Amino acid sequence: MAPATDDTTSALDALRAEVEACALCELHVTRTRGVPGEGDPGSDLMFVGEAPGYHEDQQGRPFVGQAGRLLQQLLAGIGLTREQVFIANVLKSRPPNNRDPRPEEIAACQPYLWRQIELIRPRVICTLGNFATKLLSGDPAGITRVHGRPQPMQVGGHSLYLFPIFHPAAALYTPAMLATLKEDFLRLPELLQSAPPGEGLAAPSSATAGTQPAAAPAPAPESAPAPASAPSPAASARVGEAEQLGLF
């Protein structure tokens, strides 16, 4: 893991200020505080959840409630603290009563997330639950089908693995889901140690080749992982796309 450069840190600080003042969707009317995300900008591991809940909205920090405590326990199980990873969400503002994110909210907010990924350049993005997984994989397949399988992807020319797992908030109340979440989580150290997807393969024929299929480490239980196709940040603000992905 390389420490973040000053440029990365200042760009993330600027993004933080933008999120705190953001009025791009109606959620700014009901939120208490924007929740940009936090952690080590030089980390190899990034988590992406769904949206801030009550406690996150009060404190302006991601995953500080019950789901956050579980996330911290899971991290401790693989020898990490929350300060050593970067934690963000699809939405940076809380939906009233924790309702599901709406297409127009995701469309308005997702450029922030893509910018964070491009700045942090993690080796692994662990998506928590359906919303983050569908958005970042560009695939409508639900979390129950895809959890625990690394998916090679590229963001802004940077190769990484998307690693979908169950959302800790969902696992809190479902013992079987919690067991699966723990099992999947334990695969993270190996994935973090593995070569980035595509390394050792022939160079892509075009700079715009996008996602390259690669041999994923720690083979998935069933078939090989499907390459994820990341929507480019520039093409991100389309509500229709989100609907096609079956996000809603």
Told to check if 52 binds ligand URA by CB under 6 A, we report yes
Q: Which is nearer to ligand URA, 89 or 93 (CB)?
A: 89
Per DSSP (E only), the strands in the chain are 38-39, 45-49, 86-89, 124-128, 151-155, 158-165
Report the nearest approach of ligand URA to the CB of residue 90 (Å): 8
Q: Is the dihedral of CA 214, 218, 219, 222 positive or negative?
A: negative
Report the nearest approach of ligand URA to the CB of residue 113 (Å): 12
How far is 229 from 137, CA to CA, in rounded Å?
A: 6
Report the nearest approach of ligand URA to the CB of residue 131 (Å): 8
Pick the piece of the chain touching ligand URA (CB under 6 A) from 15-23, 44-52, 113-121, 233-241. Answer: 44-52
Cβ neighbors of 129 (< 8 A, separation 6 or more) are 49, 50, 143, 166, 167, 169, 170
Tokens of 64: 């500080």
Q: How many residues touch ligand URA (CB under 6 A)? A: 11
Figure out which of the listed residues 56, 57, 105, 184 binds ligand URA, where binding follows CB under 6 A.
56
How far is 90 from 99, CA to CA, in rounded Å?
A: 14
How far is 216 from 149, CA to CA, in rounded Å?
A: 9
Figure out which of the listed residues 15, 25, 27, 51 binds ligand URA, where binding follows CB under 6 A.
51
One symbol per residue from 9 to 38: x for binding ligand URA (CB under 6 A), - otherwise; what is it?
------------------------------
Told to check if 169 binds ligand URA by CB under 6 A, we report yes
Figure out which of the listed residues 47, 75, 89, 121 binds ligand URA, where binding follows CB under 6 A.
89
**Residues 239-248 as b or e (16 or more Cβ within 10 Å = b):** bebbeebebe
Greatest alpha-carbon span in the chain: 50
Q: Which is nearer to ligand URA, 39 or 53 (CB)?
A: 53
Told to check if 177 binds ligand URA by CB under 6 A, we report no
Figure out which of the listed residues 39, 60, 63, 116 binds ligand URA, where binding follows CB under 6 A.
63
Which residue matches tokens 């963001």? Answer: 155
Figure out which of the listed residues 36, 39, 41, 49 binds ligand URA, where binding follows CB under 6 A.
49
In the complex, residue closest to ligand URA by CB: 49
Report the nearest approach of ligand URA to the CB of residue 124 (Å): 18
Degrees to nearest 5, angle at CA 129 with 126 and 131: 100
* Residues near ligand URA (CB under 6 A): 49-53, 56, 62-63, 67, 89, 169
